[in-house]
Amino acid sequence: MSGVDIFFIIVLPLIVSCITIGVTLSMKWMLEREVNNKNPYSVFHFCNIMFTIMMCGTSSIVFHGMVLDGLQKGWLVVTLYAYVYPLPILLILYSICTYVFENYFQPYRIKKGSNVVYLRRKRT
């Protein structure tokens, strides 16, 4: 595998996945705030993971399959590189990003069972 292959098969889909995870976590937070009365709703995690896998797989198929002529190896190989092989990495990355986002980027926390809102202090 050359450096160009590694870039198009691994690095570029990983960058697309990181951007997708950031966007989907912020959308999840906004939807929970507006729709679900500020309570966590775990079904959104499943939707976010599926959307992230779809974006990673699509970018991998486009760049590896179309640009680098990976389709000559067959659709099964391209599909494995696009959806199956990055799945454990994406799940670990999503769980880490979810923990960081929920603990550090949300501006406030709500105490369960009351109307008390704890604002986060700005770090200087």
Alpha carbon 71 to chain centroid, angstroms: 26
pLDDT confidence band for 87 (50 / 70 / 90): very high
1-48 residue pLDDT tens? 788 878 888 889 999 999 999 999 989 888 887 887 767 778 888 999
Residue 47 CB coordination number (10 Å): 13
**Could you list the residue range(s) of the whole structural domain that residue 77 is in?**
3-119
Residue pair 107/119 in contact by the 8 Å Cβ criterion: yes
Q: What is the pTM of this model?
A: 0.77
Instruction: Report if residue 124 sits inside a domain.
Output: no
What backbone torsions phi and psi does residue 107 show, to the nearest 5 degrees? -75, -15
Instruction: Report if residue 66 sits inside a domain.
Output: yes
Instruction: Report if residue 48 sits inside a domain.
Output: yes
Reported for 40-49, long-range contacts at CB under 8 A and 24+ positions apart, including other chains, are 45/94, 45/98, 48/21, 48/24, 48/94, 49/90, 49/91, 49/94
Instruction: Report if residue 37 sits inside a domain.
Output: yes
Instruction: Report if residue 27 sits inside a domain.
Output: yes
Instruction: Report if residue 11 sits inside a domain.
Output: yes
pLDDT at 107: 64
Q: How many structural domains is the chain composed of?
A: 1
Report residue 90 as tokens.
């994406």
